[in-house]
Amino acid sequence: MREQTKASPADEGFRKELMSVLPHLRAFARGLSGRSDFADDLVQEAAIKAWTARDRYQAGTNMRAWTFAILRNHYLSELRRNKRETDLDEGAAERMLVMEADQEGPLHLGDMEAALQQLAPERREAVLLVGASGFSYEEAAEIAGCPIGTMKSRVARARADLARMLDDDPEKMLASRSGR
């Protein structure tokens, strides 16, 4: 810990900025893991890591991107350690059954969540970063530590997967919209 460190204006600014991104970190962690309790643990641990590493943060750069990368890396190492995926997949599969029976209805957030959890992990991460959090491909690639082209193709595949799972008949809708 940093008992000897006095609260500097820079630290105070950092703390405020860090606090302001917490809701986004929670949303990202929830989307990644599909579990709210696990997600909140991840966010808290990532926030403490970010705080501890605050000397490495360059003021004026993107706090959200910086903390997302920390959270993401922490999540992956926790996954490797805990192998929590197993019960997560079961829960998601259960919800998928409900979703398929209800295709006519409007899209429910539970359906969306279930579909998201069906995606391959790297596609889920990609579509969360670009499609939900609003990062650019470049920022998302940096967060995920992959080339930008890889990020683009992951997002494209995630979108196609989600469209297939969630749009009742994409081809028909497509045809009617384009007047064919």
Partner 1 sequence: MTGTDDRSKGASERELVLNQPNGRNSAGNVRKFPPEVRPAPGQEGEPGWASGLRKLYNSVVDEPLPDSFQDLLKKLDDSDDA
Q: Which residues bind partner 1 (CB under 8 A)?
A: 1-8, 11-12, 15, 18-19, 22-24, 26-28, 30-31, 40, 44, 47-48, 51, 106-107, 109, 111-113, 115-116, 127-128, 131-137, 152, 155-156, 159-160, 162-163, 165-167, 170, 173-174, 177-178, 180
Write the CB contacts of 112 (distance below 8 Å, at least 6 apart in sequence). Answer: 166
Contact assessment for residue 24 and residue 133, using Cβ atoms and an 8 Å cutoff? yes
Total residues belonging to the chain? 180
Q: Which is nearer to partner 1, 58 or 178 (CB)?
A: 178
Q: Which is nearer to partner 1, 83 or 177 (CB)?
A: 177
Contact assessment for residue 154 and residue 122, using Cβ atoms and an 8 Å cutoff? yes
Q: Which is nearer to partner 1, 82 or 136 (CB)?
A: 136
User: Please, what is the minimum distance in Å from the beta carbon of residue 148 to partner 1?
Assistant: 10
Place of tokens 């889920």: 124
Which long-range CB contacts under 8 A does 109-115 form with residues at least 24 apart? 111/166, 112/166, 113/34, 115/161, 115/162, 115/165, 115/166
Contact assessment for residue 43 and residue 71, using Cβ atoms and an 8 Å cutoff? yes
CA neighbor of 69 nearest in space, from 98, 101, 107, 28: 28
User: Please, what is the minimum distance in Å from the beta carbon of residue 122 to partner 1?
Assistant: 15
User: Please, what is the minimum distance in Å from the beta carbon of residue 136 to partner 1?
Assistant: 4
Q: Which is nearer to partner 1, 3 or 80 (CB)?
A: 3
Q: Which is nearer to partner 1, 80 or 135 (CB)?
A: 135
- 3-class DSSP assignment, residue 7: coil
User: Please, what is the minimum distance in Å from the beta carbon of residue 60 to partner 1?
Assistant: 18
User: Please, what is the minimum distance in Å from the beta carbon of residue 40 to partner 1?
Assistant: 6
